[in-house]
Every structure is written in C-alpha cells, then in structure tokens.
DNA sequence: CAGTATACATAGCCTTGCTATATATCTCAA
DNA sequence: TTGAGATATATAGCAAGGCTATGTATACTG
C-alpha cells in the first residue's frame, strides 16, 4: 500500500471542492444503506445482482451476455452464473444469435417483468411509511436529485473507458 | 407464492401515490447502481459490508457486537465474521465489557478511521468526473435530497420494529 | 442455586463475486 | 481454403458475505 500524503477535506470547509467531496461520500454511504435495506426487507433468496440484471434487460432490451455483464458491472463469468439462475427460473430467455453461433441474446421474459415489478412494488410499499411525511416540495427535490444522478451513473456503466473498473 | 391481484401504478399516472411509488423504486435502483459502482471502482478485497460496519462505528461510537449487527442490518453471526476480519486487520478493537463478561464493546481504531477515510476519498475522486458538471444549484439539490433521505433510512436501521427484516 | 434468558461463537450451507483457463466459433490472410 | 489469432461464452476453483440452527458461557431471577 502506498502511503503518499493525501490532503483530506474536512467537513465545514468552504469551497466547492470540499462540498463535492462530502456530497459524493454521503451519496455512496446512503446508497449502500438503501441497497442493504432493500435487500433485507424483501424476502426471497434473490440477491441484488439478479434484480440489477433484470432491470438492465427491461430498460435496454435483449443483449448479449457479455454486453449484459458490462451494463451490470460484473465480470463475464459472474454474468454466466446469474443468467444460468435466471434461465432456470424462466425469468429470461436465451435467443440464439443467428449471426454468431458462439453468442446468445438474453431477453427478459414476461414472467421476469412481472417478478421485477412485484419486487419493486413490495419495496416501495415497505419504504413508503418512512417517506410518507415528505412534503410536495421535498418529494420534488428528491425526484430532481434522482434525475440528476441517474444519467451520470448510467454513463459510468455504459462507457467502461470513462470509468475504469478495479485498479487505476 | 401468493398471487393476489395487485394494482401497479403506471408511470405517467397522476397522483401523489404513484409519484411516491416511482420515486422509491427509482431510489432503490439508483442506490444499487451507485453501490455496485463504488465497490467496483475501489480496488482491494474489502466488500461493502466492511465499510458499512466501519461507518456505523465511526458515526455512533463503540457498541456491542449485537447492537452493531442491528445497526448494520445483518444477522449476528454475520457480524461475528465481519468483526473477526476487522480485528485481524486491526481496524477495530475489542474492549472487554466490565459489566458483562459475555459481551464486548467494538470500537473503530485510528487505523480503521484512516482506512475508511482513504476509501471514501478514493471513491469521491473516482466519481468526481461524472459530477463535475453539476451547477451550484444542482449540487445544492442533491445535497438537500441526501439530507432528506438520510435520517429516514437511519430510522429504519435504528428501529427494527418500524421496519421488519425478511418476511412480513 | 436451579432454571431460563442472553451474548457471542461455531457449523454448514448458499449466492455473488473474482481470476485463470478451456472450448467453440469466427475472421482474415497466405 | 486452411491455419492463426481473436472473440464469446463456459468451467473450475476460490473467497467474502449472507443466512439458519445450534453450542457455550455468563447473567439474572425465583
């Protein structure tokens, strides 16, 4: 481990740079807690990876296993395993790629869409009491923040170059 | 699996209820993607559980292993494993509980604080380019949203009753 | 002081993640 | 047209992080 001296922003610092620093660290922390809570509050043995994968397929449509791995930010062999589980549950279907016998198109099935939708609804129902007291303005603030964050995170998923995985 | 008919809100519906539904599902989805990205962009073998645990200890101070498990939303044996790893790395210390020979107080060490801080800084640095183009107003919106979400999620971690884990 | 409750540890299992490597297919140039 | 290298997915084998069930030691209480 390199032990180069680093300057760490201190909460309370003025300056856009420090604000951004704590904004991002707080964002990651709260995201981790939300994710953990979501997983914990949903019964069933499916992990976050399963739902992330289904969500990608619903949002972007069928794609190859390798592409799917990139869009889900997992290594290809990991995606092979996840897809194997999804195929077994019949939540996705493999479609032979006519132009390349090595490849498959992976597409979400009607059953998969249903399960994903159910899972989301259960989650929303579980979280709803915690957020029921938000005012219209506050709800609007959260909505705007999500709409700001979403495309920027998506960017990192889609362009592997702008966001190197593991190692610098 | 019960297959009771459920009414699913449809995006585009008017009404606070539907807005809240999609706000929460979008929140969970983006939180999952941020968490995954954060894990992937940080080298090193520590998983999210390690960092979540350290963050809890830094935020709330030393506590018993059982309390720590609740605050981290994991089962007690899981926390035993995580703490074992942290003790081995010397990122936390076990302090004998004078009033109860069965129990320990778990406290974050100076080394632990350093590692947590370093990890957060690396993350912030990795994510920064994606968010560098936010205007002051936009940054302020995200900050306000985080400050709205944080206490509500914390609530669920602290009150196990208001938020039942696994099963309904 | 016996019996129950409580705090943590252990055992054993599953999923998700990785790297390294194998296998099958495709592509292209000699 | 065939052999070399590139590419798409699968397999093997490992570790971490989850869980439930259960064990063990200590605390409390009638």
The answer to whether the C-beta of B83 is closer than 7 A to strand C is yes
Where do the domains of chain A lie, and which CATH numbers do they carry? 17-131 (1.10.10.10)
Taking residues A3-24, report their average pLDDT: 77
Q: CA of B98, closest CA in chain A: separation in Å?
A: 32
* Percent of chain B as helix, strand, coil, to the nearest 5: 65, 5, 30
Q: Collapsing DSSP states into helix, strand and coil, what is residue B161?
A: coil
Distance between the alpha carbon (CA) of B112 and the C1' atom of D28, Å: 36
Give the model's confidence band at A85: pLDDT under 50 very low, under 70 low, under 90 confident, else very high: very high
A2 or A83, greater pLDDT: A83
Which spans in A90-161 are helix H? Answer: 110-131, 136-158
Distance between the alpha carbon (CA) of B78 and the C1' atom of D19, Å: 8
Nucleotide of closest approach to B84 (CA, C1'):
C9
**Cβ contacts of B123 on chain A, cutoff 8 Å:** 24-25, 28
The candidate with the shortest Cα–Cα distance to B154, out of B63, B55, B80, B35, is: B55
Q: Which nucleotides on chain D have any atom < 7 A from a protein Cβ?
A: 7-13, 15-22, 25-28
Q: Collapsing DSSP states into helix, strand and coil, what is residue B91?
A: coil
Pick the residue from chain A with its C-alpha nearest to B37. Answer: A73
Q: CA of A99, closest CA in chain B: separation in Å?
A: 32
How do the pLDDT tens digits run along chain B, 168 residues long? 545 555 667 787 678 888 899 999 999 999 999 999 999 888 777 889 999 999 999 999 999 999 999 999 999 999 999 999 999 999 999 998 888 988 989 999 999 999 999 999 999 999 999 999 999 999 999 999 999 999 999 988 887 666 655 432
Interchain contact, A28 vs B145, CB within 8 Å: no
Strands across the sheet containing A63-64:
A63-64, A104-108, A92-96
Strand locations in chain A (E): 63-64, 92-96, 104-108
Query: What pLDDT was estimated at residue A47?
Result: 86
Which H/E stretch holds residue B105? strand B104-108
Interchain contact, A30 vs B153, CB within 8 Å: yes
Give backbone dihedrals phi and psi of B94, rounded to 5 degrees, phi first. -95, 130
Query: What pLDDT was estimated at residue B2?
Result: 47
Query: What pLDDT was estimated at residue A62?
Result: 95
Prediction pTM value: 0.89
Query: What pLDDT was estimated at residue B149?
Result: 97
Residue given tokens 């539907």 in the structure block: B18
């Amino acid at each position: 481990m390199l032990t180069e001296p680093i300057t760490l922003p201190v909460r309370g610092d003025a300056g856009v740079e420090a604000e951004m620093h704590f904004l991002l660290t707080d964002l990651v922390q709260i995201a981790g807690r939300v994710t953990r809570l979501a997983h914990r509050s949903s019964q069933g043995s499916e992990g976050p990876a399963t739902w992330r994968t289904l969500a990608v397929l619903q949002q972007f449509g069928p794609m190859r296993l390798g592409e799917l791995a990139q869009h889900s930010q997992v290594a290809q062999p990991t995606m092979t395993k996840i897809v194997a589980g999804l195929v077994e549950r019949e939540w996705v279907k493999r479609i032979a790629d006519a132009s390349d016998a090595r490849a498959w198109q992976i597409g979400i099935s009607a059953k998969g869409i249903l399960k994903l939708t159910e899972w989301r609804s259960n989650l929303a129902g579980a979280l709803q009491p915690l957020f029921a007291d938000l005012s219209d303005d506050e709800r609007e603030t959260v909505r705007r923040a999500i709409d700001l964050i979403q495309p920027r995170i998506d960017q990192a998923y889609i362009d592997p170059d702008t966001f190197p995985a593991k190692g610098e």
